[in-house]
């Protein structure tokens, strides 16, 4: 009789209690795993945000490029201290254009734009604060930034030029460079495609194109950054 009661207690009290506790542990472990994944997504979110004014209008558009490896759910666009609700998912390496958003312009007005995601990440506009004066919007200068990384066996003199179908810059000539970087920015006037030429002075004094030269790059401002970077290995 005692044995039966003992087994009864075991099966009706102790084992159910252990099962309930184990289930609670499972829920805890699963939820903690989920929140860890969410934290990793938060850390992996990378967005490039370009805010730009609509010409001759009191409006601002925001171009978003997801440069990360995880999708980002956009929640809000802050223009100074006012936010506009957004509910849009930008997949990894995808782009999206938000707006236009109406703003009140006046002489000396400035607009600071910040984008927030559902994971509470905030991304400021890389085009900086937008300014408005009586004459209209300030627009950034466009340019092509050329970066030449000169390695151990690539030492020498370098010259760089940026061209398009109707325009070409002056040649930029560097001093003797070895195990260093050459960074030069060429201002351009209009968005579009540009060719970047990099040449190195060879052993016999003649200029020879660097591997990969010319590279074609594109400035698509305002739907992209006003300055693009082109990199060569010397």
Partner 1 sequence: MKMPRIKKRGLSPVIATIILSAVVIAIGGAIWSYSQGASTVIANSYVNDTLELLNEVTERFAVEHVSNNTEGSILHVWVYNYGEVDIVIDVYANATHFNETTSTFNSTFSANYTTSITAGILVLIEIDFSSYNLFPSDEVAVKVHSRRQNNAYYKYYVR
37, 97, 119, 218: residue in contact with partner 1 (rule CB under 8 A): 119
Site for partner 1 contains 13 (CB under 8 A)? yes
DSSP state of 176: -
Minimum distance between the CB of residue 18 and partner 1, rounded to whole angstroms? Answer: 8
67, 97, 102, 122: residue in contact with partner 1 (rule CB under 8 A): 122
Site for partner 1 contains 31 (CB under 8 A)? yes
CA distances, 188 to each of 197, 225, 227 (Å): 15, 13, 9
9, 43, 93, 179: residue in contact with partner 1 (rule CB under 8 A): 9
- From the centroid of its chain, how far is CA 98? 15
86 Cβ neighbours under 8 A, 6+ residues apart: 74, 75, 76, 77, 98, 115
Supply 119's token pair: 């994971």
25, 57, 133, 170: residue in contact with partner 1 (rule CB under 8 A): 25
Site for partner 1 contains 138 (CB under 8 A)? no
Site for partner 1 contains 216 (CB under 8 A)? no
Site for partner 1 contains 215 (CB under 8 A)? no
190 Cβ neighbours under 8 A, 6+ residues apart: 142
Nearer to partner 1, 60 or 210 (CB): 60
b/e 59-68 (16+ beta carbons within 10 angstroms → b): ebbbbbbbeb
Site for partner 1 contains 16 (CB under 8 A)? yes
Site for partner 1 contains 20 (CB under 8 A)? yes
């Amino acid at each position: 009789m005692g044995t039966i009661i003992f087994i009864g207690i075991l099966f009706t009290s102790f084992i159910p209690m252990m099962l309930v506790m184990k289930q609670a542990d499972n829920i805890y472990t699963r939820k903690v795993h989920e929140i860890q994944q969410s934290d990793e997504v938060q850390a992996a979110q990378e967005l490039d945000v370009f805010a730009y004014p609509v010409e001759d209008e009191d409006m601002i558009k925001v171009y978003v490029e997801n440069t990360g490896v995880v999708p980002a759910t956009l929640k809000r666009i802050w223009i100074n201290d006012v936010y506009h609700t957004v509910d849009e998912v930008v997949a990894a390496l995808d782009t999206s254009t938000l707006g236009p958003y109406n703003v009140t312009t006046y002489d000396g007005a400035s607009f600071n734009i910040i984008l927030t995601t559902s994971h509470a990440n905030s991304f400021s506009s890389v085009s900086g604060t937008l300014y408005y004066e009586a004459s209209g919007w300030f627009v950034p200068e466009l340019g092509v930034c050329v970066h030449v990384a000169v390695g151990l066996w690539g030492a020498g003199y370098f010259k760089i030029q940026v061209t398009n179908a109707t325009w070409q810059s002056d040649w930029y000539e560097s001093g003797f460079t070895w195990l260093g970087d050459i960074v030069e920015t060429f201002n351009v006037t209009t968005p579009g495609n540009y060719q970047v030429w990099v040449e190195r002075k060879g052993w016999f004094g003649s200029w020879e194109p660097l591997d990969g030269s010319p590279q074609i790059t594109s400035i698509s401002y305002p739907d992209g950054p006003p300055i693009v970077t082109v990199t060569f290995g010397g």
